[in-house]
Amino acid sequence: MRPLQTGKLISGCMLFQDTMVAGTARRLCLRPQIFKELSPSSISKNVTAKTIVLSPAMSHYFQARRGPFTPEEKQGKHMMMASTHWKIERIIAVSMLGIMPASIYFQGPFWDFMIASTVMLHGYWGVNGVLTDYLEKFIPFIHWFWYALAMAGIAGLLNFNYNDVGVTKAISLVWKL
């Protein structure tokens, strides 16, 4: 067992010295409850406050791996390089800046499809990235829920475009209310 972080109270924030990465210090604002737990004397003396003790295995588990990664690792199980995927994500996001006003202005089936597909793709990738970064490690099957929800989402939007007024008309009708 070894201390992961030690800190001392400085002007309402806890300055943590990360003992695992020498020379790096991070300032974290704490919840106000911390002040109730500390006596006034301990604050005024500026004492070392808390030491969180984690076993090396646990601290390693909670740490993200920062590379260096091999080209195979970077590609993973994907059909394209992550950097190519990243560029496509950004091209779609930037194109949405034009597609959104254009579809409201022109309307019709083509623009219904454009807005439904780009928003769904962008939202799908965005949430998928959040799940990969924060939850996959703890809930490995979490993506399957997202795949099901995303498929239901795009199916619902396409159904709405084919069998109802369509997304662009629906947005302008909402604004007319």
Is residue 177 at the binding interface for ligand HEM, with CB under 6 A as the rule? no
Using the rule CB under 6 A, which residue among 22, 57, 79, 97 binds ligand HEM? 97
By C-beta, is 16 or 111 nearer to ligand HEM? 111
Cβ atoms of 28 and 14 within 8 Å: the answer is: yes
129 binds ligand HEM (CB under 6 A): yes
Q: Is 85 marked as binding a ligand?
A: no
Among 93, 154, 158, 165, binds ligand HEM (CB under 6 A): 93
* Reduced 3-state DSSP string for the chain: CEEEEEEEEECCEEEEEECCCCCCEEEEECCCHHHHHCCHHHHHCCCEEEEEEECHHHHHHHCCCCCCCCHHHHHCCCCCCHHHHHHHHHHHHHHHHHHHHHHHHHCCHHHHHHHHHHHHHHHHHHHHHHHHHHHCCCCCCHHHHHHHHHHHHHHHHHHHHHHCCCHHHHHHHHHHC
**Contact between 119 and ligand HEM per CB under 6 A:** yes
**Binding of ligand HEM by 122 (CB under 6 A):** yes
Instruction: In whole angstroms, give the CA distance from residue 12 to residue 125.
Output: 38
96 binds ligand HEM (CB under 6 A): yes
CB atoms within 10 A of CB 128: 16
Instruction: Give the footprint of ligand HEM on residues 130-149 (CB under 6 A).
Output: 130
Of 41-49, 71-79, 120-128, 168-176, the window that binds ligand HEM (rule: CB under 6 A) is 120-128
Considering only 18-26, 93-101, 145-153, 156-164, which stretch makes contact with ligand HEM by CB under 6 A?
93-101
Does position 170 interact with ligand HEM (CB under 6 A)? The reply is no
**Is 162 part of any known ligand binding site?**
no
Note the residues at the interface with ligand HEM (CB under 6 A). Answer: 93, 96-97, 100, 119, 122-123, 126-127, 129-130
